[in-house]
Amino acid sequence: MLLISCPWCGAREETEFAYGGDATLKRPDPARADDAQWYGYVYLRANPKGPHDELWYHAAGCRRWLRVTRDTASHAILDTAPVDTSRGKPDSP
Amino acid sequence: MKYSIVSLARNALSGHAGWSAAWRSPEPRPAYDVVIVGGGGHGLATAYYLAKEHGITNVAVLEKGWLGGGNTGRNTTIIRSNYLLEPNAHFYEFSVKLWEGLSAELNYNVMFSQRGVLNLAHTPAEIEAFQRRGNAMRLNGIDAVLMSRDEIARAVPLLDCSDRARYPIVGGLLQPRGGTARHDAVAWGYARAADARGVDIIENCEVTGIRREGGYVLGVETTRGPIAAKKIGICVAGHSGVLAAMAGLRLPIESHVLQAMVSEPLKPVLDTVVTSGAIHFYVSQSDKGELVMGGDLDGFNSYAQRGGLRIVEHVVEACLMLFPSFSRLRLLRTWGGIMDMTMDGSPIIAKLPLEGLFLNGGWCYGGFKATPGSGWVFAHTIAHDQPHPLNADFTLERFAEGRLIDDKGAGATPWAQ
């Protein structure tokens, strides 16, 4: 079970959160992007064994998005940070 | 040595001191025609069919640990071909047919038991989906039987089919030819049969790099030195992303942890495989008597081979909803395995965009049942440099081309597949 430090609420159990996937993805500009860029954004992942930047949503808490750096080989949480959601949900397919 | 009643009797009379090792443990040679990375069921089956079907015997299988110590030894051994979409239906049915002759083929008892796989429906909508899938299966030549609640209650007496159940059962879809097999025996049987045809099986040999030049592969770097190869087949599902990164490739795959668990052993109580997609649960009883159970992914990227207790709790709750009489059983052990979760829920068995490099991965939850078919079509793909019609749709390019094979229709969120 993960214990995730929410920047607003403090350390909370994993069950309060919903996973949002890879946080390094950048949504292409719909006016300019070609098929290859969309393919990369929607489907391709670095999928690292080690530190992974990922999005979590504090669904049963403050209902804000956070960016978590977590080691996928050990499950150790290395860092958590707020995500700027002033323009809506962060980029994630 | 051929295993038979005669060899058993002869060795019994000599105190069982005369059995030879089931496979050699050779030192790696400097070069091979084909190197298979990963000594699980899929890698060993690929090597076996390369030798048997295509006469390619200058083959090494490189395994970082011991044979079958990864996902081959961690799965819950269920075999079925109850798929809706044609590419999956034809491929998995081909695999089930290979399972039906596998013990004789390998001269090794893989304990394949066609005890049936029963999917439970808890709502009328699920029944309709099962009718559709069952009809699709029968049109594709696969056995499927739609069962009423009363028929299920007679077939699986311990199942709570009453109206009092938290999620009452309204019917189900049975594939009678589905079942289970002994997972270790599958790895050992293929290893022994491949070794007998000249394949080198090299354990404790981890691949640490893929050597390439100008769009071609040259070989692999390993913890036991470099090994040259004309062709390399990757069979490391769970870690496909790690191997692809060695070749400078990204894949439409995320690695996730899936847990499973067994109860203490008990006398025979359950003679079929029971699953419920609605409450995220499946169970069968092993030949040792343990109830083998599992549920859903933990739901975040992981290579850790262990998960959280919340999933164990969920699986046990679901088990007791369906089988209240199991409430006093103790859980013997739990574990986790790492799944290659693709973006459409179907595998990738294909050439990669690097000449000489092939991928067999992306098995999501369902790799074990595919073992014979996967090895067979992957050997064909490697030998002929092009896929067999059975795996022609399981390409890497299908994602870019919009030809997804999404039996579940979950979209590009692997943790929801």
DSSP per-residue letters across B204-234 = S--EEEEEEETTEEEEEEETT--EEEEEEEE
**Residue B93 — pLDDT band, cuts 50, 70, 90?**
very high
Residues of B in contact with A14 (CB under 8 A): 308, 310
Residues of B in contact with A77 (CB under 8 A): none
CA B252 to chain centre: 19
Can you give the residue ranges of every domain in chain B?
27-81+84-107+183-252+344-416, 117-176+255-342
Q: List, for residues B187-219, the tens digit of each pLDDT value.
A: 999 999 999 999 999 999 999 999 999 999 999
Can you give the residue ranges of every domain in chain A?
3-82
In terms of Cα–Cα distance, which of B62, B361, B12 is closest to B201?
A: B62
- Inter-chain CB proximity B413 and A93 less than 8 Å: yes
pLDDT of res. B226: 98
Size of interface A-B (CB pairs under 8 A): 73
Nearest CB to B413 within list A2, A21, A75: A21
Longest alpha-carbon distance in chain B: 66
Could you tell me if B274 and B155 are in contact, meaning their C-beta atoms sit under 8 angstroms apart?
no
Structure tokens at B266: 């008990």
Q: List, for residues A64-83, the tens digit of each pLDDT value.
A: 999 999 999 999 999 999 99
**Residue B4 — pLDDT band, cuts 50, 70, 90?**
very high
pLDDT of res. B411: 81
**Residue A92 — pLDDT band, cuts 50, 70, 90?**
low
Q: Answer whether B27-81+84-107+183-252+344-416 and B117-176+255-342 agree in fold.
A: no
Structure tokens at A38: 């969309």
Could you tell me if B46 and B382 are in contact, meaning their C-beta atoms sit under 8 angstroms apart?
yes
Q: What is the CATH number of domain B117-176+255-342?
A: 3.30.9.10
In terms of Cα–Cα distance, which of B258, B416, B277 is closest to B339?
A: B258
Q: How confident is the model over B113-119, as a mean pLDDT?
A: 98
> What would be the CATH architecture of the domain defined by B27-81+84-107+183-252+344-416?
3-Layer(bba) Sandwich (3.50)
Q: B53: which residues sit within 8 A by CB, 6+ positions away?
A: B376, B379, B380, B383
| Residue B18 DSSP one-character state | -
Q: What is the CATH number of domain A3-82?
A: 3.30.2270.10
**Residue B387 — pLDDT band, cuts 50, 70, 90?**
very high
User: Half-sphere exposure (CA, 13 Å, Cβ side) for B21?
Assistant: 7
Neighbour-count burial of B150, counting CB atoms closer than 10 A to its CB (0-12 exposed, 13-18 middle, 19+ buried): exposed
Q: How confident is the model over B105-132, as a mean pLDDT?
A: 97
B416 interface with A at CB cutoff 8 Å: no
| Residue B391 DSSP one-character state | G
Q: List, for residues B154-200, the tens digit of each pLDDT value.
A: 999 999 999 999 999 999 999 999 999 999 999 999 999 999 999 99
Could you tell me if B387 and B374 are in contact, meaning their C-beta atoms sit under 8 angstroms apart?
no
- Inter-chain CB proximity B400 and A74 less than 8 Å: no
- Inter-chain CB proximity B241 and A36 less than 8 Å: no
Q: How confident is the model over B311-340, as a mean pLDDT?
A: 96
**Residue that the structure tokens 């099962």 belong to:** B130
B366 interface with A at CB cutoff 8 Å: no
pLDDT of res. B361: 97
pLDDT of res. B417: 72
- Inter-chain CB proximity A43 and B400 less than 8 Å: yes
A86: pLDDT strictly greater than 80: no
pLDDT of res. B1: 79
d(CA B182, CA B222) in angstroms, rounded, equals: 30
Give the nearest chain A residue to B255 (CA atoms): A47
Q: List, for residues A13-66, the tens digit of each pLDDT value.
A: 999 999 999 999 999 999 999 999 999 999 999 999 999 999 999 999 999 999
Q: How confident is the model over B355-365, as a mean pLDDT?
A: 96
Report helix, strand or coil for A15: helix
Q: How confident is the model over B121-147, as a mean pLDDT?
A: 97
Give the nearest chain B residue to A37 (CA atoms): B400
pLDDT of res. B247: 95
pLDDT of res. A64: 94
ipTM of the complex: 0.94
d(CA B380, CA B389) in angstroms, rounded, equals: 10
A88: pLDDT strictly greater than 70: no
**Residue B416 — pLDDT band, cuts 50, 70, 90?**
confident
In chain B, what percentage of residues exceed pLDDT 70?
Answer: 100
Q: List, for residues B213-246, the tens digit of each pLDDT value.
A: 999 999 999 999 999 999 999 999 999 999 999 9
- Inter-chain CB proximity A44 and B250 less than 8 Å: yes
pLDDT of res. B412: 85
Backbone angles phi, psi at B263, to 5 degrees: -85, 175
- Inter-chain CB proximity B252 and A52 less than 8 Å: no
Neighbour-count burial of B285, counting CB atoms closer than 10 A to its CB (0-12 exposed, 13-18 middle, 19+ buried): buried
d(CA B371, CA B73) in angstroms, rounded, equals: 13
A68 sits in which H/E element: strand A65-71
Helix, strand, coil shares of chain B, percent, nearest 5, are 30, 25, 40
A93: pLDDT strictly greater than 80: no
Q: Which amino acid type is present at position B263?
A: S
d(CA B345, CA B406) in angstroms, rounded, equals: 6
Q: How confident is the model over B368-375, as a mean pLDDT?
A: 98
Helical spans, DSSP H, in B217-364: 240-246, 309-322
B46 sits in which H/E element: helix B41-54
| Residue B345 DSSP one-character state | S
pLDDT of res. B388: 98
In chain B, what percentage of residues exceed pLDDT 90?
Answer: 96
Q: Which of B302, B309, B341 is the best mutation test for A, with the most CBs of A within 10 A?
A: B302
Report helix, strand or coil for B187: helix
